[in-house]
């Protein structure tokens, strides 16, 4: 069984998937043991095909066709199969030897058949399995280079008609359609193998267009058609490597593809074709990309392609030019440029771009916070602490959030200027608290800021005069309980009443937590008997809630 252990399964899956896999042990069925592999069906949201490879060079591996497994993850279904195999470890060597023996028997039997007998056997299988017949017919057409026949069959494979209801392929039928469409990839590969790579290029492109059209009418939630698209992209690259088409024409086709001909279902990287394109083709590729970008500088695809090519060529100035042509009003694009220049070691230019982003921001309240953080970090690195404070102060003045207050405090502390900055910041927050500019369900930022400063007394006074939300009052009560037990008691009791009218374990946990706090307040006030009477009365009214009674018993209430 090699390296298959419970510890290895947990390492491959991670703690979360491993724990979830424990709940699927009864969902494993149809276990089949081969020589070095085990397959099964695991019943989850759907029925998933799962395969474990036991003797891989890096240890056990697995594949599952659930959505999480298709992303390359070792999923809970694989964990369930692995644990099932471990539970049968005593019989596994015998089962693997039996699988090897069966394989040897089949090989020996096939080797003993005559040519005619083999043909008869294949004919029998074709007659019983229509899908196998269609695959072999397609391979035969590809092998003999019958482009017309292959093109017609590929069109049939990518036709949603047999799977569509009312012109649309539902989720339940998407896998079957994708399996059929995948045969087109095999057909194109066979065409390349038969020496017809030039024709394979044409057919691959036609298949891509058909797939892009089909995906509009398929519920491809699990990404099956994306896999078919990746296969077609690989087949096209293989065909181009074999046929060496005109580099200029290929370059223009690649640019057209990246700019949206296939609506994202076919992901082709033009740089994968660099060897095929050669110097002349790469020149045309860059010229075509530049021309498209100049015609639509704000287009995402055009910008992405230009940036990709510029980065590959190490042309930082071109990268900057692409972003500079479409600057965001919140300064985010300035930040992107600054980071690119920093990476290239051009720190002075990077700083100027970051500062320009702040100057050109149309609304300081909406400016990209990451730009503010980036620029402040650069100021600190350059020992420009006063500039960092000014920037944080201006940003706080526009945003007036707790996070902006915390960042201002950190910058001001570093510059030894916090007392004066705090006074000004709190003045703004007090004015806001009076106007209550916050959202309807949010308490004043003033209360949160004072709590964050550990100034509980001032926070309580602010809440009493300007109001606070439930979260703030509970935090205040928790932090002020030792000095203001009577006030805290009033807060806790106010929150108990609505909870007594609700049910559910989460509610009971909250209620018991409040009761424990109420008990602490009564003890601080020297009135334990009042708490006893309070809890007794509560138990009388809530006695039908058995889970609440049990929880109160466990906590000594």
DSSP label of 24? T
CA atoms of 546 and 557, how far apart (whole Å): 14
Cβ atoms within 10 Å of 306's Cβ, excluding its own: 25
Helix (H, G, I), strand (E, B) or coil at 279: helix
CA atoms of 289 and 81, how far apart (whole Å): 49
| Structure confidence at residue 250 (pLDDT) | 96
| Structure confidence at residue 292 (pLDDT) | 92
| Structure confidence at residue 450 (pLDDT) | 95
188-222 confidence digits (pLDDT tens):
988 898 888 999 999 999 999 999 999 999 998 87
Q: Are 264 and 304 in contact (CB under 8 A)?
A: no
Q: Which residue has the higher pLDDT, 94 or 133?
A: 94
Task: Please state the rounded mean pLDDT for residues 418-436.
Answer: 90
| Cα→Cα distances 365→198, 355, 395, 439, Å | 58, 16, 7, 16
Residue 439 has pLDDT above 50, yes or no: no
Residue 138 has pLDDT above 70, yes or no: yes
Residue 55 has pLDDT above 50, yes or no: yes
CA atoms of 52 and 289, how far apart (whole Å): 45
Q: CA dihedral defined by 145, 150, 151, 152, rounded to 10 degrees?
A: 140
CA atoms of 402 and 410, how far apart (whole Å): 12
| Structure confidence at residue 251 (pLDDT) | 96
Sorted by where each begins, the domain ranges of the chain are 6-112, 395-479, 481-557
Residue 438 has pLDDT above 60, yes or no: no
pLDDT band at 437 (very low <50, low <70, confident <90, very high): very low
Residue 436 has pLDDT above 70, yes or no: no
pLDDT band at 37 (very low <50, low <70, confident <90, very high): confident
Task: Please state the rounded mean pLDDT for residues 337-349.
Answer: 95
Handedness of CA 212, 218, 223, 225 (dihedral sign): negative
Half-sphere exposure of residue 122, counting CA atoms within 13 Å on the CB side?
12
347-365 confidence digits (pLDDT tens):
999 999 999 999 998 888 8
| Structure confidence at residue 127 (pLDDT) | 81
| Structure confidence at residue 359 (pLDDT) | 92
| Structure confidence at residue 35 (pLDDT) | 81
CA atoms of 79 and 52, how far apart (whole Å): 10
| Structure confidence at residue 263 (pLDDT) | 62
CA atoms of 293 and 227, how far apart (whole Å): 29
Q: Which residue has the higher pLDDT, 253 or 467?
A: 253
| Structure confidence at residue 34 (pLDDT) | 87
Structure-block tokens of residue 209: 């267009």
CA atoms of 401 and 449, how far apart (whole Å): 9
| Structure confidence at residue 8 (pLDDT) | 86
Helix (H, G, I), strand (E, B) or coil at 32: strand
Task: Please state the rounded mean pLDDT for residues 292-306.
Answer: 91
Q: Name, in order, each residue with C-beta under 8 angstroms of 283's C-beta and a sequence gap of 6 or more.
A: none
Share of the chain above pLDDT 90, in %: 57
Handedness of CA 256, 260, 262, 267 (dihedral sign): positive
373-402 confidence digits (pLDDT tens):
999 999 999 999 999 999 999 999 999 999
Residue 157 has pLDDT above 50, yes or no: yes
227-271 confidence digits (pLDDT tens):
899 999 999 999 999 999 999 999 999 999 998 866 678 889 999
Q: Are 17 and 74 in contact (CB under 8 A)?
A: yes
**Which H/E stretch holds residue 490?**
helix 485-499
| Structure confidence at residue 120 (pLDDT) | 87
| Structure confidence at residue 187 (pLDDT) | 87
Residue 303 has pLDDT above 80, yes or no: yes
């Amino acid at each position: 069984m090699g390296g298959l252990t419970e510890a290895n399964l947990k390492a491959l899956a991670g703690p979360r998937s491993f724990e979830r896999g424990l709940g699927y042990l009864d969902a494993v069925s149809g276990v089949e043991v081969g020589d070095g592999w085990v397959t099964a069906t695991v019943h989850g949201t759907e029925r998933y095909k799962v395969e474990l490879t036991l003797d891989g060079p890096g240890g056990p591996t697995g594949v599952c066709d659930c959505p999480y497994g298709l992303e390359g993850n070792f999923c809970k279904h694989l964990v369930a199969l692995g644990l099932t195999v471990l539970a049968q470890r005593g019989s596994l060597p015998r089962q693997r030897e039996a699988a090897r023996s069966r394989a040897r028997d089949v090989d020996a039997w096939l080797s003993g058949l005559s040519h005619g007998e083999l043909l008869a056997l294949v004919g029998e299988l074709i007659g019983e399995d229509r899908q196998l017949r269609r695959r072999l017919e397609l391979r035969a057409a590809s092998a003999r280079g019958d482009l017309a026949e292959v093109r017609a069959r590929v069109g049939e494979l990518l036709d949603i008609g047999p799977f569509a209801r009312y012109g649309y392929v539902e989720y339940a039928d998407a896998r079957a359609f994708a399996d059929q469409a995948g045969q087109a990839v095999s057909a194109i590969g066979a065409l390349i193998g038969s020496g017809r790579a030039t024709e394979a290029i044409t057919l691959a492109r036609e298949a891509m267009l058909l797939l892009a059209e089909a995906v509009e009418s398929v519920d491809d939630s699990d990404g099956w058609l994306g896999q078919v698209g990746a296969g077609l992209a690989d087949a096209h690259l293989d065909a181009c490597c074999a046929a060496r088409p005109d580099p200029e024409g290929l370059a223009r086709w690649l640019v057209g593809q990246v700019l949206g001909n296939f609506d994202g279902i076919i992901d082709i990287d033009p740089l994968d074709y660099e060897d095929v394109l050669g110097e002349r083709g790469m020149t045309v590729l860059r010229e075509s990309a530049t021309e498209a970008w100049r015609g639509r500088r704000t287009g995402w695809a055009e910008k992405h392609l230009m940036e990709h090519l510029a980065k590959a060529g190490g042309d930082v100035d071109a990268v900057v030019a692409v972003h500079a042509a479409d600057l965001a009003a919140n300064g985010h694009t300035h930040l992107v440029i600054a980071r690119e220049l920093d990476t290239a070691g051009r720190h002075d230019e990077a700083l100027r771009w970051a500062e320009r982003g702040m100057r050109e921001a149309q609304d300081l309240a909406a400016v990209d916070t990451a730009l503010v953080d980036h620029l402040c970090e650069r100021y600190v690195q350059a020992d420009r602490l006063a500039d960092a404070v000014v920037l944080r102060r201006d940003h706080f003045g526009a945003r007036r959030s707790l996070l902006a207050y915390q960042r201002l405090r950190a910058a001001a502390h570093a510059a030894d200027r916090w007392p004066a900055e705090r006074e000004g910041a709190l003045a703004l927050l007090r004015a806001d608290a009076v106007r209550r500019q916050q959202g309807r369900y949010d308490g004043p930022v003033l209360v949160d800021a004072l709590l964050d400063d550990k100034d509980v007394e001032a926070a309580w006074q602010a809440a009493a005069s300007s109001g606070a939300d439930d979260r703030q009052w509970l935090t205040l009560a928790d932090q002020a309980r030792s000095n203001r037990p009577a006030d805290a008691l009033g807060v806790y009791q106010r929150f108990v009443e609505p909870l007594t009218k609700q049910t559910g374990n989460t509610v009971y946990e909250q209620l018991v937590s409040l009761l424990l706090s109420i008990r602490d307040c009564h003890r601080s006030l020297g009135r334990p008997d009042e708490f006893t009477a309070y809890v007794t009365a509560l138990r009388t009214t809530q006695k039908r809630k058995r889970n609440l009674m049990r929880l109160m018993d466990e906590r000594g209430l």
